[in-house]
Structure 1
């Protein structure tokens, strides 16, 4: 008996239900859908926000890395071209093959663009590979289930790094298997039948296309394609649950699916939920649009770019780490995988934390990581100042500052775990010797680890619960460093970093280093310090005014804790009795020396932290400390104009300042880092802020031809002269050629940028809601004046001052 198409689809739906596949055809709404992991919710939110971008409002600020990312500079041009080809296909009533020929190669071109290595000849990137209309087989039972041939699949290329790991012996057979099995014998990595060539590993994007005029619609595609999606998710799920895989993948498996019918496109995402101990495969509809419209075309291109970035920076490294856990019996050996010579897009330069020092951070890090914040890459829309954000600049409340702590503490119990993080014994030995050298050059002796717990509680508000120990608590030797800076998304950060080793762990480090004789001949007698005195010194630093901390952040100042041996003093208790007590003298001093041991110490701690951090998940290793608090309420705006609270004399009473900072390389930086200007509000009156008051301050900066400047802390090229901390200047006149050279900002570019921001923010006279009593102290600018600002050489001819704005 011959079955109709409808009978076939009904059978496919029943089979999908049997296999635990669920497709939600209603567009995803985070308020209505339950069970989606938080990490995936963040990605779905990014897709939906990209789906609200309009062509007219979209813009890109060019930067130093634009030549290495050709798709970004031409993104609007790509959207126009793709829309024209779609319109031609629609007009000519093309069939499915015609649509695919014209559209797919242009839409997915980023998968075939060499993205990072400008030193090499341009060519195809070896990160990804694709298959066209090849059968997809179930990983567990290739002979069973529907055999589907998706129109297009994208996955990972089998590079030398993958090949080396897959050919390694599987380390978790218990009892040992005879003959020994390889990793590729244990893990299924591909869905396509073996054709004798390099396989497509772990597919993450599936495309299905149908004829515009055909009878099959999106519902039919949602019935057909879930099987390949399920198979791709199952590959990731099975890897995650393979014996010996101890990696935590935030959110779990994720696969993207795109469906199109002529010019109409949809984007879906599939993930896994466990119910009653069994996996369920859920597919959500995220975005839909027509590529004959320019807004929808731009949105689809941006979504594809997002998927490429996710696959390169998150998905691929996670797969590599998981595979490596299967080839080693030690979990920490997996945290550093070898540089992959096939993949040019992973090449890059690391900020020179330790030039000329004993150990290079590249030995500790998986990939060259930026000093990027640990926050989610998605933009935080909860800040009410976000409504003033434009493509030219952002507005920030200067009262907000991150108090961040990063610490590495080595004890007798965790030493071996720390050393297992290194690829080879030589690197581990160099690390050990560096720790001994750093603590010998500068450190303080504390009574126990509990002092460090108290420091963290005061600095970042994180309280650690430590079990009671009956045995004697060893002393701890610690080196501290404090850094102030602006992060890529214009947030102020004050960061306390420390390297610590217990007394008994130091003895073990000396043994491992093989330099016992040399160390014993050297004098090691660090000053002791009471915990109360140390915490008091850090608290005094935290109580600096808003203005002082902002200036410290702009200058990227670094500080060290200096200690003197305790002295005996007389103190009177509550009963009036006099006692002798020991008092430590702790002072916080600026540490400007580029060869300071604090520079190398901070680099090592950050490198270890970055190696063990996966995505936005903080490391859980017992030897790392990481916590952050946003300090905001109760911070003094200034403290009697003490030294350090004052801005330049003529700006003593300003309540807003405009700051410029370029980001030389934003490859690894979060969304929202592209704006090169920030207006900081110094008086705390953000509730009264409106577009007109923002524009008036921008006009003030334009009229005075003055700007504050900094370098946001991010990955920069080794040859950059502006990366260093403790910068002397933070306020600049654009009339000076030295200023323009130092900021790498011409006067014309400054005027053009700020003028464009003014037009985007206000562009007209104040509304009726503006407080009339404050108008005499505000700027008045008409639309004509705003336009003239961009072309006039004499600002005074187009601006009328009714009073100096505060």
Structure 2
């Protein structure tokens, strides 16, 4: 670096408040990072001989120690090799850096037993005020070392999917830096040798694509800057480690600091702006932190970069914590242990902090794990759940209560209130399929001829604005929705036969406060319609204005319909819960004129018209088909009639269930508490249905549930809903279908606290029972829940 450029950079760094303070006394360390810095210096004092001697003693609990020793010895050998070969920077970088940062490229969990392949010598220090502190400590205590023979003898396997890096990629500066250089006086970007950051996993995608709390019309990714690099296909998010490397001959420490100063500030500012955006709601107690590695051939230095306020101004501070020579075994083992520690910090603490901050700014619920990361998955914790699933439970009248066993998920039911995992959803398909062969049986099911004639009038009226679907598309529709399909051997279903079909999609709360999404379908074969019309004399009443009196002759394309239905299933946990709380309802419609009709969602365009869904505040088809289904049931036994179809599945939504397009018109998402929970009050008068429900992110201990109930009561928005079984009639539900999603007040403004107190007393009473419940058996060693399982299934047999 030329002298003029160095001076220019130095002056600008002072202007920006960038301070390289060198190795300072620990009394000057920020309290928020003190324990981290102490641990790094402790590891920096480790001696190779002492570490090697401890291998035999700890070989069972820490089998990776022998491997770390071998890696240090290999690093020493490589350093000697390239030291003798000369001061070529590229050779040093290409051969030494992969060894030093090896941990950031491999998996931490054994693919066979899901135990740990290795751990940091010291667990990364965790501030007890962090919201995830308790759960992290519990996970750490559960972790066990892998004992698989293949893993004990070899290098770590797998690819790390949490982190990624960029080598010599441009970090953009806006505005450009005023740096005097030959032929130009501005620097728009700089290329640090290597930067490590967070990979855009499915969980980050969900957060980035979520609508912003402060402006729901915009995505969070458009409001918060998350990467300092120029536009990339897959961005590197919120970097936490930067490296600048030189050969041993170019070991000018001051020049390296000035070369990296503005990239350090740029990355720290990215973190700082995120924390500032969350304001008083921020849960990031420790705050921004960046690790700075500088290498000069065999000599390495580790520094920490953080933000502090001084007399109202922001300072970007860099202090040195360790330096050493990796040609010596002590220096090599120290550097590898420090990198292990930073990996542990970045994985367990930093990443969670960033996600928590983004979660505060996002309207969508945050899944607890990343399904695309093996080591973040965890199996069901059924022991605790099964023990409490029956505590305080009671029998509710549920006309669809023919379910098989539930998934292992949180469901505490009591008349005063329910507690549920908000990612669990119930999907139902109910259809009345009438062919020419079914007509006589169908009409005989009515108690009188007059009643059967009225049913024909009703069906003819509904099919006047229906869609034309072939039988194969109907089969696809049910299969896409619940995974079931019409049997290939059904004699009444020719795949080419045309059915005039009306579809209603309804979201609502079931009697146990389970979110339900239901397709109700009336499908009548063309031949059957002709027979029905011949049995009645008068013509049914006209259809609403804007709709055709005769069905549009073109068919709805199967691919278009299936694609549209899948969009419903791809909605996020937040969107589905919102739609169920406010009982959103859409019905199929056909129309000829160009352009949109009010609240229209287009499925496809046929040769003669348009097919779409519209908001339906009086879903008559749902009522008629449901009434027919109820009339044919005998107790809990499903109807045996060929013309009735019912299937049901209970699933756990995963992080990749995100609807990029809002499927429900005019729906504002629920405002979740910062802890990810929300409490919904019931407007119903049925004493057999819990009064209210608390929805939480995942499984947690009863003490945490108590805390979440209190948080929701005093700090959460006040929403209401009407849980129901939606049997033969919607009853009071008609008054609440497609209602506004605005919350008029907060829970603490609600005066009905007496039953809340009784509910809290009931939950307090569960603590005693909890103490006698055996600890859950965990198969995986990391995250709390198993959101990695996409739509796990509990299916009900079809009729």
Structure 2 length normalisation: TM-score? 0.45
Structure possessing the higher relative contact order (Cα contacts under 8 Å, 6 or more residues apart): 2
Structure 1 length normalisation: TM-score? 0.44
